[in-house]
Amino acid sequence: MIYFDYNSTSPVMREAREAWLDATEHISGNPSSMHDFGARAAAALLEAREKLAGFLGCKPEEIIWTSGATEANNTVMHHFSRTLGLKEEIWISGMEHPCVMESAQYYFGKRLRLIPVTHDGVIDLEWLTMELADRRPGLVGLMAANNETGVIQPWREVLSICQSYEVPFFTDAVQWLGKMPAKGLGECDFVSGAAHKFGGPRGIGFLKIPHKKQVAPLLLGGKQERGVRAGTENVSTIVSMMAALEAREKQISHNQHVLRGVWRDNFEREFLRAVPNAVIVGGKSPRLWNTVSALMPEGDKRHLWVVRLDKAGFAVSTGSACTTGKEEPSHVLAAMGFKPAQAIRAVRFSAGWETTEADWEALTKALVKVHEELSKVG
């Protein structure tokens, strides 16, 4: 079975597995305890915090461990709902992950404004620049790269504009981390990440918060994590998450991802040659090296594509894991201006660090075969 669904979750890397086992075996204390066991756990947490801060380019005390990105993103929305004035708006892009979108809708209702997205899958930077010149929201949120299309967002530019107007900027860096260098993300006021998207374990993530700023906690009942997130920290998974990110950052620094981008581009060329009526979503925009979102030619049979590819030995998806099984077409593709009848045809291939050039080539062959089969079904 060849795995092309890294954007939903990725296999745990050897480095992460070994680090988890080692920490579980040797670190048994609660980091908040006063005794030596506790001190050793606290030291492991501090080391992990320093590592992550080093990668992002921020201060270790700005890192808060969470159960994943969903919690981190909900914490951001909750914090602003508690601290902004009753008339203040927040602006986020129309293609954010549901854990940002739905919590923003929940906390802000009509005070939520969606930043438009172009047909190429990038936010409308011109719109944002003009609107910001006119009025100031209490927060701007833009993901670093989209999970469905892989389209890279101009988060650095938006950060810089927000800084010039002193508007806090939040980026969901879940799909960016482990695929692109983390450096520079730490300049954003709020940054979220989840270990299982970059080869770490599931159920652990982080939120980078601004220095010395008190953030309203979502979880109450303990003084852990500067009082921003109550609950005993899961030391082994935190250590494991950092081992994964360290390994990914090392591979990225050797430009491993650039070569992998070439394999993906070759795949797209061959795929479009063999299945000419297919459309690559966001194909004109800079995208993560691992992601291809394609509108398949065969009507609304995208589930058939997934099932047949599964039988042929390829794990792919119909979009984000969170929308799988839902009948509605993706809100991301809708924000890009695709009609429901088009959006329903999207199939996503997301490769990873273990994907080989031969895997991409094998996928092309399988797609050609399934295309032939499905076009006969009519």
Give the CA count within 13 Å in the CB-facing half-sphere of 206: 33
Using CB under 6 A as the criterion, what x/- string covers residues 304-323 for binding ligand PLP? ----------------xx--
Residue 101 in contact with ligand PLP, rule: CB under 6 A = no
d(CA 79, CA 226) in angstroms, rounded, equals 14
Q: Which is nearer to ligand PLP, 55 or 206 (CB)?
A: 206
Binding span for ligand PLP by CB under 6 A among 62-70, 301-309, 342-350, 355-363: 62-70
Tell me the two tokens of residue 80.
Answer: 């602003």
5 binds ligand PLP (CB under 6 A): no
**Does position 45 bind ligand PLP by CB under 6 A?**
no
Residue 225 to residue 71: CA distance in whole angstroms: 14
Does 345 bind ligand PLP (CB under 6 A)? Our answer is no
* 99 near ligand PLP, rule: CB under 6 A: yes
Active site annotation includes 58: no
- Considering the rule CB under 6 A, would residue 180 count as an interface residue with ligand PLP? no
Number of residues that bind ligand PLP (CB under 6 A): 15
Give the number of C-alpha atoms closer than 13 A to the C-alpha of residue 138, restricted to the C-beta side.
Answer: 19
- How many helices (H) does the chain have, and how many strands (E)? 12, 12
Choose which of 101, 142, 194, 244 interacts with ligand PLP (CB under 6 A): 194
Contact 133, 139 (CB under 8 A): no
Q: Does 229 bind ligand PLP (CB under 6 A)?
A: no
Residue count of the chain, please give it: 378
- Closest to ligand PLP by CB, 70 or 93: 70
- In the set 5, 172, 189, 298, which binds ligand PLP (CB under 6 A)? 172
Q: Does 175 bind ligand PLP (CB under 6 A)?
A: yes
Torsion angle defined by CA atoms of residues 42, 48, 51 and 56, in that order, rounded to the nearest 10 degrees: -110
At 230, is the secondary structure helix, strand, or coil? coil
As a whole number of angstroms, the distance between CA 223 and CA 204 comes to: 19
Structure tokens at 79: 């914090």
| Separation of alpha carbons 179 and 244, rounded Å | 12
Closest to ligand PLP by CB, 196 or 371: 196
CB distance 89 to 141 below 8 Å: no
CB of 230 to ligand PLP, least distance (A): 18
Per CB under 6 A, does 74 bind ligand PLP? no
59 or 202: CB nearest ligand PLP: 202
Take residue 25 and report the two structure tokens written for it. 């075996």
Using CB under 6 A as the binding rule, whether residue 346 contacts ligand PLP is answered as no
Q: Which active-site residues does the annotation give? A: 322
The residues that touch ligand PLP, with contacts defined as CB under 6 A, are: 68-70, 97, 99, 143, 147, 172, 174-175, 194, 196, 205, 320-321
